[in-house]
Amino acid sequence: MTQAVKQAYDVVVLGAGPVGENVVDRARAAGLSVAVVESELVGGECSYWACMPSKALLRPAIARSDARAVPGLRHLVQGPLDARAVLAHRDYYVSDWKDDGAVGWLDSTGARLVRGHGRLTGVREVAVDGPEGERHLLTARHAVAVCTGSRAALPDLPGLSGARPWTSREATSAHHVPDRLVVVGGGVVAAEMATAWQALGSHVTMLVRGGGLLERMEPFVGEHVADALTERGADIRTGVSVSAVVRDGGTGPVTVVLEGGDHVEGDEVLFATGRAPRTDDIGLETVGLEPGSWLTVDDSLRVTGHDWLYAVGDVNHRALMTHQGKYQARIAGAAIAARAAGDALSGSDPWGAHEATADHAAVPQVVFTDPEAAAVGLSLDEARRAGHRVRAVDLDLSGVAGAGLYADGYRGLARMVVDLEREIVLGVTFVGPGIGELLHSATIAVAGEVPIARLWHAVPAYPTLSEAWLRLLEAYRDGAGTS
């Protein structure tokens, strides 16, 4: 190993994914010097193994499904997808797993990129072991921001380690279509990847421990998605647990053994069974924190008990979604800059730049299944458990004029959860084709705590799916719903 190079910066960022990039952007805009450490590709999980490749795989599947519901077009799109073209489309959107473009942007900010694995070695200190054996010792004058994200968590099952299972990374980067794909899990990754690979030609079997898909959303969401997958040939088994995985020599078919002795065979098996923080080897023990743990933060994303350490994005376990991590990063960057300048964070921030309040009440999410699912704020059950006096209003979206024009036989449902004491919307959920683009209007209503009386004056264009808002308000006015 070469002699260590010591350098000081105002801010050191661990992780150059979307979250780290946004911390860099805000800190540099405030005139702070920044070093960012990355052990893999600049651009991170979202760019190469999550958001971008998964949506590139899903878009052709959803577009074909939509076209099949349009008169005059459906007869032209009855054939299979061109899998080779879809995978090439995916490869384009991940830049063939090369980060030249992302590095170019990072360079344009004036931040310094340090390649290698970074570890805390003490207060405001980071050591980086580079790819050529070099070592960098970085000191942060003001803050270190941990933006290392999360990884797929695999269960401890007999035979799993030798069976070469897919995780979310393999599912979004594979270059062949398995004839049979077994998906273990019922959450977002499981549902989206089942949708994508089934459309590409795999026979999909889903093994779900719980009672249905997407159980963190309103119950009707998982029902709609499961019905659609089943109609297209998927085998969805709920209330089942995997006890072992067998794959002789790590090649050939894989056998997934269920508790009770039943088994399922596939050519590949995807485990989408949760996430774990990438904090196990970043030196947390040197500053009194537990390696491998989620990091608890305040609303300015500062780690509890450490006035110089920030944890932004997945690592703090507040909301494991890229857009929410980028939101947190903008908050953290502004907070770091304000503290570096000696400014107080409270009482002088009309833009809310220093507190990630949306993490508590207005987290939006779109699930790019077919049909799409989208939600923001609290579900009915969450609102009740939080002690709110609420009423939920449901709407069959097939009755909205824009739905019939969107697709023949349109099926979808919307739910609006209203706080009866303050007369504001606490949460909204949609499921149906094309509803992802409706979500931001719901997010504004929830985050802005817009009174119901004012929402009447937000006139939806006719004939669009957004007319669902008018129908939900009418139903609420007429006393419909569940309290």
Q: Tokens representing 373?
A: 């699912």
- Looking at residue 171, its pLDDT comes to 98
- Looking at residue 4, its pLDDT comes to 82
Q: Could you say which of 3.30.390.30, 3.40.50.2300, 3.30.505.50, 3.40.630.150 is the CATH number of the domain covering 371-477?
A: 3.30.390.30
pLDDT digits (tens, 9 = 90+) for 14-37: 999 999 999 999 999 999 999 999
Q: Which residue in the block uniquely carries the two structure tokens 């050191």?
A: 12
How far from each other are the two terminal CA atoms of the chain, in whole angstroms? 66
The arithmetic mean of pLDDT across residues 59-85, rounded, is 96
pLDDT digits (tens, 9 = 90+) for 381-411: 999 999 999 999 999 999 999 999 999 999 9
Q: Tokens representing 442?
A: 């719901």
The C-alpha atoms of residue 210 and residue 250 are separated, in whole angstroms, by: 29
Query: In terms of CATH, what superfamily is 5-43+99-151+277-358?
Result: FAD/NAD(P)-binding domain (3.50.50.60)
pLDDT digits (tens, 9 = 90+) for 334-361: 999 999 998 766 544 544 568 899 998 8
The arithmetic mean of pLDDT across residues 473-480, rounded, is 93
pLDDT band at 250 (very low <50, low <70, confident <90, very high): confident
Contacts 24+ apart (CB under 8 A), 258-263: 258/207
Q: What is the 3-state secondary structure (H, E, C) of the chain?
A: CCCCEEEEEEEEEECCCHHHHHHHHHHHHCCCCEEEEECCCCCHHHHHHCHHHHHHHHHHHHHHHHHCCCCCCHHHCCCCCCHHHHHHHHHHHCHHHCCHHHHHHHHHHCCEEEECEEEEEECCEEEEECCCCCEEEEEEEEEEEECCCEEECCCCCCCCHHHCCECHHHHHHCCCCCCEEEEECCCHHHHHHHHHHHHCCCEEEEEECCCCCCCCCCHHHHHHHHHHHHHCCCEEEECCCEEEEECHHHCCCEEEEECCCCEEEECEEEECCCEEECCCCCCHHHHCCCCCCCCCECCCCEECCCCCEEECHHHHCCCCCHHHHHHHHHHHHHHHHHHHCCCCCCCCCCCCCCCCCHHHHCCEEEECCCCEEEEEECCHHHHHHCCCCEEEEEEEHHHCHHHHHHCCCCCCEEEEEEECCCCEEEEEEEEECCHHHHHHHHHHHHHCCCEHHHHCCCCCCCCCHHHHHHHHHHHHHCCCCEC
Percent of the chain with pLDDT over 70: 98
Between CA 123 and CA 214, with CA 359 as vertex, the angle to 5 degrees is 120
pLDDT band at 481 (very low <50, low <70, confident <90, very high): confident
Between CA 242 and CA 74, with CA 197 as vertex, the angle to 5 degrees is 135
The second-level CATH assignment, the architecture, of 161-274 is 3-Layer(bba) Sandwich (3.50)
The arithmetic mean of pLDDT across residues 55-65, rounded, is 97
Neighbours of 388 (CB within 10 A): 18
Q: Do domains 5-43+99-151+277-358 and 161-274 have the same CATH topology?
A: yes
- Looking at residue 350, its pLDDT comes to 46
- Looking at residue 88, its pLDDT comes to 98
Neighbours of 466 (CB within 10 A): 18
- Looking at residue 58, its pLDDT comes to 98
> If we measure between CA atoms, which residue out of 216, 210, 265, 271 comes closest to residue 241?
210
The C-alpha atoms of residue 339 and residue 308 are separated, in whole angstroms, by: 10
> If we measure between CA atoms, which residue out of 447, 426, 448, 429 comes closest to residue 439?
429
Round the average pLDDT of the chain to a whole number and report it.
95
- Looking at residue 388, its pLDDT comes to 97
Are 224 and 412 in contact by the 8 Å Cβ rule? The answer is yes
Q: Is the dihedral of CA 476, 480, 481, 483 positive or negative?
A: positive
Where along the chain do its domains lie?
5-43+99-151+277-358, 161-274, 371-477
The C-alpha atoms of residue 428 and residue 439 are separated, in whole angstroms, by: 8
Model confidence, pTM: 0.95
- Looking at residue 361, its pLDDT comes to 87
- Looking at residue 354, its pLDDT comes to 86
pLDDT digits (tens, 9 = 90+) for 109-119: 999 999 999 99
Q: Is the pLDDT of residue 472 over 70?
A: yes
pLDDT band at 231 (very low <50, low <70, confident <90, very high): very high
- Looking at residue 248, its pLDDT comes to 84
Amino acid at 253: P
Burial of 285 (0-12, 13-18, 19+ CB in 10 A): exposed
Please, which residues bridge with residue 237 across strands? 207
What is the signed CA dihedral for 82, 88, 93, 96, rounded to 10 degrees?
Answer: 160
pLDDT digits (tens, 9 = 90+) for 285-303: 999 999 999 999 999 999 9
Are 428 and 414 in contact by the 8 Å Cβ rule? The answer is yes
pLDDT digits (tens, 9 = 90+) for 311-321: 999 999 999 99
The arithmetic mean of pLDDT across residues 81-85, rounded, is 97
- Looking at residue 344, its pLDDT comes to 63
pLDDT band at 455 (very low <50, low <70, confident <90, very high): very high
Angstrom CA distances, 10 to 13, 195, 222, 298, stand at: 10, 45, 47, 21
Q: Is the dihedral of CA 15, 16, 21, 25 positive or negative?
A: positive
Neighbours of 306 (CB within 10 A): 18
- Looking at residue 394, its pLDDT comes to 97
